[in-house]
Amino acid sequence: MKSPTGSLTELEGAVLVEVLHRGMTTAFKVRRAFQQSMSSEWSGSAGAVNPAIRRLEAAGLLAIGAPEGARGTRQLSITPSGEARLQEWSLDAERACNIGIDPFRIRAGLWAMLPESRRSALFDNLRRTTEAQLARLPTYGKDRDATERVAIGIVHDTLIMRLAWLDGFENGRKA
């Protein structure tokens, strides 16, 4: 269990964002936020989030309150040092501009090799799946504040881009 003396992992950053954002939360709520997140980047498993929280505490970036109530709930809050580190993390343009792991893109080359009939069936399927995700967005963003909706907006843009790509491909753009 190394304390994050180097730069924060994406999960650690996301945890700090969540805590900063909520002001006060619990480990459970952070996990649930990841579980319910539109993107299935992380499972929000206790086995990932709890160790990450302990690492952040060990590095002095997160304060963990004493267990309260019968459930032993522990309040999390970000420390000034944590805020500073988070900002530094967020301002790293090199990292922020990385093209992440995109399952859609990785597979797209293979789709292009499919015979027309199979491809158009698949593309219909992909369109339906994407539109279902789009339809979920308003509900999902409902009780989030403006800051969180910024990220949701990018998810929205990404889904729209995928739909446009699917349409554009079939209209022979391809290049």
Interacting residue ranges for a copy of itself, rule: CB under 8 A = 10, 13-14, 17, 21, 38-41, 86-87, 89-91, 93-113, 122, 125-126, 128-130, 133, 146-151, 153-155, 157-159, 161-162, 164-165, 174-175
Cβ neighbours for 11, distance < 8 A, ≥ 6 positions apart: 42, 48, 49, 52
Binding segment toward DNA, per CB under 7 A, in 64-72, 81-89, 109-117, 153-161: 64-72
Instruction: Select the binding partner of residue 46 from a copy of itself, DNA, none (C-beta < 5 to 8 A, by kind).
Output: DNA
Both tokens assigned to 140: 């999902």
First CA to last CA distance, the chain? 47
**How far, in whole angstroms, is CA 109 from its chain's centroid?**
25
Instruction: Select the binding partner of residue 71 from a copy of itself, DNA, none (C-beta < 5 to 8 A, by kind).
Output: DNA
* DSSP codes of every residue in 24-45: SB-HHHHHHHHHHSSS-S----
**Where does this chain bind DNA (CB under 7 A)?**
1-2, 4, 9-12, 26-29, 31-32, 41-48, 50-52, 55, 67, 69-74
